[in-house]
Amino acid sequence: MDTVTYPNSRTVEFVKDWMIGLRVDVKSQRDLAMEFQIQYTPTVIILDGDRKEHHRSIGFHAPEDLVPELMAAAAKAQYENKRFRKALALSKKMLTDYPRSTWAAEASKIEAACRAHSG
């Protein structure tokens, strides 16, 4: 993923705008690898500010697969933390930018749940 997915402009832009990226070297940072139970690389974990895990993805993902997955996962994390406006914005963006993604159904569920909360 280092040569294709991570340097991709859409991946970089999304991570810059919505996340704090942290790379864990499982050999030299064993304490973090153990804390987050990283057994295989690459592993992408979506955590909130309290270090609660909301999503985990293991293995290679092309940018066109990873970005919508990250969007849906981030929307889910925002929703679970009762940040409904941010969750709605992320799910709508995911559905607009990647309507045919395998993550579209998840984003649609989050969008509907957010709308239910906003009355």
> What is the overall mean pLDDT for the chain?
89
Give the tens place of pLDDT for each residue, 61-100. 888 888 999 999 999 999 999 999 999 999 999 999 999 9
Distance CA 8, CA 82 (A): 30
pLDDT at 15 over 80: yes
Share of the chain above pLDDT 90, in %: 47
Report residue 2's pLDDT band, with 50, 70 and 90 as the boundaries.
Answer: low
Domain-embedded: residue 1: no
pLDDT of residue 9: 87
Q: Answer whether residue 64 is part of any domain.
A: yes
User: What is the structure's pLDDT at 98?
Assistant: 94
Determine the structural domain holding residue 28 and report its residue range: 9-118
Distances, alpha carbon 54 to alpha carbons 6, 8, 10, 70, 74, in Å:
21, 24, 22, 11, 8
Is residue 65 a part of any domain in this protein? yes
The one-letter amino acid code at 18 reads W
Q: Mean per-residue pLDDT for 22-49?
A: 87
Q: How do residues 105-115 score in pLDDT, each as one tens digit?
A: 999 999 999 99
Residue 3 lies in a domain: no
* pLDDT of amino acid 7: 80
Distance CA 78, CA 50 (A): 13
Split into its structural domains, the chain has a count of 1
Confidence of residue 4 (pLDDT cuts 50, 70, 90): low
